[in-house]
Amino acid sequence: MSNFLTRTITGLSMVFILLMALFFSGWVFASIFLVITILGLWEFYGLISSDECHPQKYYGTFAGALFFAGTAIICLLPAYNNSDQLWVSFMPFILPIPLIFLSFVIEIYRNKPKPLVNIATTTIGFLYIALPLSLLIFFNRPGVLHFWGMPVILVSYFGFTWMDDTAAYLYGKQFGKHKFFERISPKKTWEGTIAGAIVTLAAAFGLHFLVKDLILIDSLALACIVLFFGTHGDLVESLLKRSLNIKDSGTILPGHGGILDRFDTMLISAPFVFLYFFLRHSILYP
């Protein structure tokens, strides 16, 4: 089986699973992304572990999973969505504070070289993977805008990300000539990047007319955030892999590589998507 066909089957399978999870239950979606968070953290800590770096692999993975689970429980419970108390809204952002500082205490008992490097890499994994993926839960709360039984913003976010990635990959593979960022990602081209942008922006326009309650500026803003920060998320992960002299972050997803290879764009873009809708609509269409 060709790599392209394997990549396509894996990608379509993931799309189907995530859309079904979004349709049936916020808890099912949260459970799937809890597993993705755990696998992503384990993958990240495994990649950066070396004789010079000893991240707290078990604690970092546990803390990230605990933070994600805590955020999901708080966001999906009816009491949270019906509460008008300000402190309740900020509970998910309070949770990581003791989890991060506990890594400083744990390092005292590990007797590993370069403790500051170990603490820093443990914290980076937490912030780079667990935090962005946890923010996705806010887009799937019961009170957000829904269409066909699924949260509009979250489905649009996934859709725009996949469209940009697919269009850039296919067009760049066939017609790409001018390198976009050769120092970090030699295969990425300007032709593919522009093609991905055109397809994504066209989809954003079309989505506004399909979902009447979705404001056009929100749809376009979401697409632009995905295009800019999603592309840079891909470059960030490529930079990480290049610094470690590896091709893929893992092998768990046939045709795509590892968890970080598949969700790299979201790890950087998700916080900015959340920030936009938080500032513009309090949280997300309350």
From the list 217, 231, 220, 238, the residue with the least C-alpha distance to 266 is 231
User: Mind spelling out the 3-state secondary structure of the chain?
Assistant: CCHHHHHHHHHHHHHHHHHHHHHHCHHHHHHHHHHHHHHHHHHHHHHHCCCCCCCCHHHHHHHHHHHHHHHHHHHHCHHHHCCCCHHHHCHHHHCHHHHHHHHHHHHHCCCCCCHHHHHHHHHHHHHHHHHHHHHHHHHHCCCCCEECCEEHHHHHHHHHHHHHHHHHHHHHHHHCCCEEECCCEEEEEHHHHHHHHHHHHHHHHHHHHHCCCCCHHHHHHHHHHHHHHHHHHHHHHHHHHHHHCCCCCCCCECCCECHHHHHHHHHHHHHHHHHHHHHHHCCCCC
- In order along its 286 residues, the chain shows pLDDT tens digits of 556 677 777 778 888 888 888 888 888 999 999 999 999 999 999 999 988 899 999 999 999 999 999 889 888 877 666 655 545 566 677 778 888 899 999 999 998 999 999 999 999 999 999 999 999 998 888 778 877 778 889 999 999 999 998 898 888 888 878 888 888 887 888 899 999 999 999 999 998 888 878 889 999 999 999 999 999 999 999 899 888 888 878 778 776 678 898 899 999 999 999 999 888 865 544 4
At 245 the pLDDT is 87
**Whole-structure pTM value:** 0.90
At 75 the pLDDT is 83
At 3 the pLDDT is 63
